[in-house]
Chains A and B, each alone.
Chain A
Amino acid sequence: MSKRDGFIDITDVICPITFVKAKIAMEELTSGEILEVRMNDGEPIQNVPRSFKDEGHKVIDVIKNEDGTFTVFIEKDGL
């Protein structure tokens, strides 16, 4: 398990709120800090990490959980 500075669960929302919710959580961190995002398989895992990359953040780890969800660690402004 990587260290984290913030956590957000976006399994309770659908596109495009998934990324919006995660983006709002990311705003609260400072450069270099790490956000942990729990998301569903399918659309979220395909799009949310990519959208973070597009905004200059670095995806540092992706973990597949037992319940089928994913946990993604993203470093703010890491790219």
Chain B
Amino acid sequence: MKFTNEQMERYSRNIILNEVGVKGQIKLLESKVLIVGTGGLGAPAALYLAAAGVGTIGLVDADAVDLSNLQRQIIHSTTKVGKPKVASGREAINDLNPDVNVVTYQEWVSSANITDIIKDEDYDFIIDGTDNFPAKFLINDACVLLHKPFSHAGIIKFFGQTMTYVPGQGPCYRCVFLNPPPPNTVPTCKEAGVLGVMGGIIGTVQATEAVKYLLGIGELLTGRLLVFDALEMEFRTVTLASRKNCVVCGENPTLKDLIDYEQRACEL
């Protein structure tokens, strides 16, 4: 492909990096990333991936923009309240970078649709920007079964965590967390609150992982969980091991069909 003068200028700070260069920028423009949830995590991740020139971005969210989202979901804005989040997200992305082809899925992910959504554009990388355990386990299991890399993240109050799964290169989310906690034993972000910047910090780490994976550069958070405490202002990484008997990625996997755990609705 040939760069237009506008693209040359838009992506100049990427292209000038030796680790990116012309080839890397073309790779990004030809890449496809699926972002599940356009909330606190998905909003900044989508914006940075769009800015970087990731050519196709899929957005999955059934929700409409609510005023209470705007404290952290910076892809949306006051004039978009009431609009479907995926439509609002698409407009913001195309305002930022018209090079990006935005594919929207106005639905919640479930065992019934997630495989089709991931296969729809044969996405290269998936970002879990959801806020509930059923969705997190579903995304993990679907990605493991489809051999797709993904970034997991969670934020609550002043805490955040993120890890990256790449097939064959370390543990999956289920290796580490086994099963969702029983419903009603953990607060959702709606009940517990979350500092707005948490999504910015952790969602931006997720976008960084996606870009690195797509370019094939650096060390990913595979086999490592990055934990961030905003009050102490401390980042730590915890080393994680694969579980041989993991039901989805282990030596004798028994989980072949996706599971819909009991869902607690919560705004992202």
Binding site for B on A (CB under 8 A): 16-17, 19-21, 23-24, 27, 55
State A24–B22 Cα separation when bound (angstroms): 6
The 8 Å CB contact of A20, one of B15, B18, B23, is: B15
Asked whether B241 is an interface residue with its Cβ less than 8 Å from the other chain, the reply is no
Question: How far, in Å, is B53 (CB) from chain A's closest CB?
Answer: 13
Nearest residue (CB) in B for A26 is B22
Question: How far, in Å, is A9 (CB) from chain B's closest CB?
Answer: 13
Question: How far, in Å, is B130 (CB) from chain A's closest CB?
Answer: 37
Q: Is the beta-carbon distance between A16 and B13 smaller than 8 angstroms?
A: yes
Asked whether B121 is an interface residue with its Cβ less than 8 Å from the other chain, the reply is no
Nearest residue (CB) in B for A14 is B9
Per the CB 8 Å criterion, the residue count for chain B at the interface is 11
Q: Is the beta-carbon distance between A55 and B18 smaller than 8 angstroms?
A: yes
Asked whether B169 is an interface residue with its Cβ less than 8 Å from the other chain, the reply is no
The 8 Å CB contact of A19, one of B3, B9, B16, B23, is: B16
Question: How far, in Å, is A19 (CB) from chain B's closest CB?
Answer: 6
State A23–B13 Cα separation when bound (angstroms): 12
State A21–B21 Cα separation when bound (angstroms): 11
Give the residues from 4 to 23 in chain B that come closer than 8 angstroms, CB to CB, to chain A: 8-9, 12-13, 15-16, 18, 21-23
Binding site for A on B (CB under 8 A): 3, 8-9, 12-13, 15-16, 18, 21-23
CB contacts (< 8 Å) of B15 on chain A: these are 20, 23-24
CB contacts (< 8 Å) of B8 on chain A: these are 17, 20-21, 24
CB contacts (< 8 Å) of A21 on chain B: these are 8
Question: How far, in Å, is A49 (CB) from chain B's closest CB?
Answer: 15
Q: Is the beta-carbon distance between A23 and B9 smaller than 8 angstroms?
A: no
Nearest residue (CB) in A for B3 is A24
Q: Is the beta-carbon distance between A23 and B23 smaller than 8 angstroms?
A: no
A-B contacts, 17 of them at CB < 8 A, read A16-B12, A16-B13, A17-B8, A17-B12, A20-B8, A20-B12, A20-B15, A20-B16, A21-B8, A23-B22, A24-B8, A24-B15, A24-B22, A27-B21, A27-B22, A27-B23, A55-B18
Nearest residue (CB) in A for B11 is A20
User: What would 7 more interface pairs be, CB under 8 Å, given A20-B16, A24-B22?
Assistant: A16-B13, A19-B16, A23-B16, A23-B21, A24-B8, A27-B21, A55-B18
Q: A21-B8, A24-B8 are in contact. Are A16 and B16 (CB under 8 A)?
A: yes
Top-5 shortest CB links A-B: A27-B22, A20-B12, A20-B15, A24-B22, A16-B12
State A62–B8 Cα separation when bound (angstroms): 25
State A40–B241 Cα separation when bound (angstroms): 56
State A16–B14 Cα separation when bound (angstroms): 11
Nearest residue (CB) in B for A56 is B18
CB contacts (< 8 Å) of B12 on chain A: these are 16-17, 20
CB contacts (< 8 Å) of A16 on chain B: these are 12-13, 16
Q: Is the beta-carbon distance between B21 and A17 smaller than 8 angstroms?
A: no
CB contacts (< 8 Å) of B22 on chain A: these are 23-24, 27
State A17–B5 Cα separation when bound (angstroms): 9
